[in-house]
Amino acid sequence: MGLLNPQNIVYGLSLALLVLIYLRSRSRPTIEVSSLMLFDEAPALVASVRHVRIDPLFWLEMATLTALTLAIAGLYVMRPRTPGHGRIHALVFDLGAGMSAREGSGTRLDQARRDALEIINQAPAGDEFSVIAYALEADAHHPQTANLADLRKALGDLVPMAVPARTAALRAALIRARGASEIDLFADRPPAPAILADAASTARVNFHLVGSGDSNLAIVSLDPGIPGSTRGRAVIRNFSARPYPCELAIDLGNRGEFHQTLMLAPREQVVVPFGPLKTGGVLHARILTPDAIDADNNRYAYAPSDGAAQVLVLSPDAAVRDDIARVLLAVNANFQIETADPGKYLADANASGPSAKPLELVVMHDCYVPVAGAASTLLIYPPQAAKNWPYAAAIGISVRGTLASADIRSDAMGEAPGIESLALGATRIVAIPEWMDLIATATGPAHSSIPLAAIGRGAGGPVGVLAFDVRDHLLLAPDHLDALVLTVDLIKQLIAPRDILIVPTGADVSVPASGTAHVTEPDASARIVTADKWGRVRIRPLQAGRYSVESGGATTQVFANYYDAAESDLGAKPQAEANAPAEKAAAASNAQSAGEVQPLVFILIALALLALTIESAMLIGHAGRWGMRHV
């Protein structure tokens, strides 16, 4: 026996309150006196009480409160399972990328559907089923029902996504399944035994391992190189345990750049050079050979234009100006970079001069100078003094202090998810507006999480913020490569074309829009999304491919790449407790659940009502025999 919600035992404090009430009433007995002595003083009777005598009414009230407390807490007993009717089942499906793998005449999800339909068809009449799915999050696709037509439709509506199946989402799905007497989990990889054991504490868990093949190819990465200068590279990997042919095609726009069939050895990874490209644009690499997963057979990259873009770097430190210029040239060798001390830079004269050219990017370190006509702005270690920071009122960025040191959090987000904890130097405590997306956070003394890197589109164009100082050659130090990666990723996002975005699947994407936007997905389905107060719509690509966002006569193309090529390895086993076979884990977890939960709520409520009925009968008897004043 046990309790479903032990926290509700706190209602048992009412028992202590009942005891106090009875003890209080016994400590002040009622003395009957003659009405003629109403105003005379009479000494109280002195009685020596050695035992507290409590009448049956007290025990009846104790029994009532105890039964109600245990009913609220969910007292239950475990009883042997019976094949009776009316049991509740939960069907839990993994919708991660691996479930889209083809095997035989269908996918792994198709196999899971067939197994689930067989379970439904073999169940006794009256049994109810719920359908729950998980990938990035858990989702209850259909509540419990005995309607077979609704269940078949709910199973047919399940679609695998090109995103990971997170462990946290699996735990949430199993929590949603609580209340079912039996849970059937369908996944292509065995979960950790601890997860199954936790779910099996209240229900029988049956794990169904779906799929066994590993014949899969994937494009691991795609680098376009520098148009007209350096060659591009595509990295292809064979995740199969046998040799596999790979027909690879690479296109730039509508023009083919590379087309060749390769033979890859088992588990081999090859680097395929191509180019150099003649112009910039969207580069698309495709594996044309049929394999298990389609989502990792396509990859997009943007080749920057070979035009000479103008970039301005402002910093009071000459060494910082040189370091940032080197980083910018590494991003795009065609940049024409001008560096200047902000105290000596004449912004208005430069913008209105006869030789003035539009600026693609302005990088400001520890300063702010209004620069007209800049397409995008990167603020590094923004100044703290209000008099040097007039931009705060315009875009909502403010600096609230400075930390002597900070650490990049290990769970940093954005384009560099692999960042590990790294000690930085001086870091500003920056408050960013709602229209900016947080890329990375940091920790510092008395601060558990402060913005470290962010990007967004303001009224004057894209704006990026880096809160840490880059003095003392931080960006060029080999021990601080993560800071360099974060900076390079932010620069690439700022100089990317406004109507083209290349993101990983599962990422939150903000697209400028006015009013509403018409979003077309890779499968040609369309939906309408309303823009927020900052004039942007947010979408989350769950399938690999091209998304089109149309709003106000402008179209933005969003290209979603498969989130992680390492997940293309269909034969990989989970690292956590990989030594324990899934069958043994499921058997061990179900050893505890040989019985089923039988709540005692109705029995306890019936006992409480019976005690109240007996108490009422006793009170009526007292009233009839001695009068109402004795009740």
Range name among 44-58, 400-414, 571-585 with the lowest pLDDT average: 571-585
CA gap 611, 67 in Å, rounded: 10
Q: Is 195 helix (H, G, I), strand (E, B) or coil?
A: helix
Mean pLDDT, to the nearest integer, of 358-387?
Answer: 83
594: pLDDT strictly greater than 70: no
CA gap 351, 496 in Å, rounded: 23
Are residues 263 and 272 in contact, defined by beta-carbon separation less than 8 angstroms?
no
375: pLDDT strictly greater than 90: no
DSSP per-residue codes, 303-368: EPP-S--EEEEE-S-HHHHHHHHHHHHHH-TT-EEEEE-TTT--HHHHHHSTT---EEEEEEES--
Assigned token pair, 423: 């000690």
Backbone angles phi and psi of 209, in degrees to 5: -80, 120
Q: Which residues contact 328 (CB under 8 A, 6 or more apart)?
A: 311, 313, 335, 337, 361, 363, 491
Burial of 187 (0-12, 13-18, 19+ CB in 10 A): buried
- Pick 388 or 133 by higher pLDDT: 133
Portion of the chain with pLDDT greater than 90, in percent: 35
Instruction: Please give the model's pTM, rounded to 2 decimal places.
Output: 0.71
Mean pLDDT, to the nearest integer, of 60-71?
Answer: 84
CA gap 71, 340 in Å, rounded: 75
627: pLDDT strictly greater than 80: no
520: pLDDT strictly greater than 60: yes
Per-residue confidence (pLDDT) for residue 45, from 0 to 100: 55
Per-residue confidence (pLDDT) for residue 154, from 0 to 100: 93
CA gap 330, 478 in Å, rounded: 16
Are residues 396 and 403 in contact, defined by beta-carbon separation less than 8 angstroms?
no
126: pLDDT strictly greater than 90: no
Cα–Cα distances in angstroms (integers) from residue 93 to residues 198, 254, 523, in the given order: 18, 39, 22
DSSP per-residue codes, 63-114: HHHHHHHHHHHTEEEEEE----S--EEEEEEE-SGGGG-EETTEEHHHHHHH
Q: Which domains does the chain have, with CATH numbers?
A: 2-80+600-630 (no CATH), 88-213 (3.40.50.410), 217-305 (2.60.40.10), 310-496 (3.40.50.880), 509-561 (2.60.40.10)
Mean pLDDT, to the nearest integer, of 188-202?
Answer: 85
Cis peptide before 276 (omega within 30 of 0): yes
CA gap 127, 3 in Å, rounded: 25
pLDDT digit string, tens, across residues 223-282:
998 888 889 999 999 998 899 999 999 999 889 999 999 999 999 999 999 989 988 889
Per-residue confidence (pLDDT) for residue 104, from 0 to 100: 79
Q: Which residues contact 408 (CB under 8 A, 6 or more apart)?
A: 419, 420, 421, 422, 424, 440, 442, 452, 482, 483, 486
Are residues 551 and 516 in contact, defined by beta-carbon separation less than 8 angstroms?
yes
pLDDT digit string, tens, across residues 416-459:
444 445 678 899 998 888 888 888 888 888 888 889 999 987 66
Per-residue confidence (pLDDT) for residue 392, from 0 to 100: 55
Per-residue confidence (pLDDT) for residue 3, from 0 to 100: 64
Per-residue confidence (pLDDT) for residue 449, from 0 to 100: 86
| Among 563, 620, 550, residue whose Cα is nearest residue 164 | 563
| Among 109, 95, 173, 155, residue whose Cα is nearest residue 506 | 95
CA gap 559, 224 in Å, rounded: 15
Per-residue confidence (pLDDT) for residue 479, from 0 to 100: 77
Q: Is 223 helix (H, G, I), strand (E, B) or coil?
A: strand
Gyration radius from the chain CA atoms:
35
pLDDT digit string, tens, across residues 543-573:
999 999 999 888 999 999 997 776 788 876 5
Q: Sheet of 281-287: strands edge to edge?
A: 255-264, 244-252, 281-287, 298-303
412: pLDDT strictly greater than 80: no
Backbone angles phi and psi of 313, in degrees to 5: -120, 120
Are residues 196 and 174 in contact, defined by beta-carbon separation less than 8 angstroms?
no
| Among 342, 338, 346, residue whose Cα is nearest residue 379 | 342
Indicate the pLDDT class of residue 519, thresholds 50, 70 and 90: very high
528: pLDDT strictly greater than 90: yes
376: pLDDT strictly greater than 60: yes
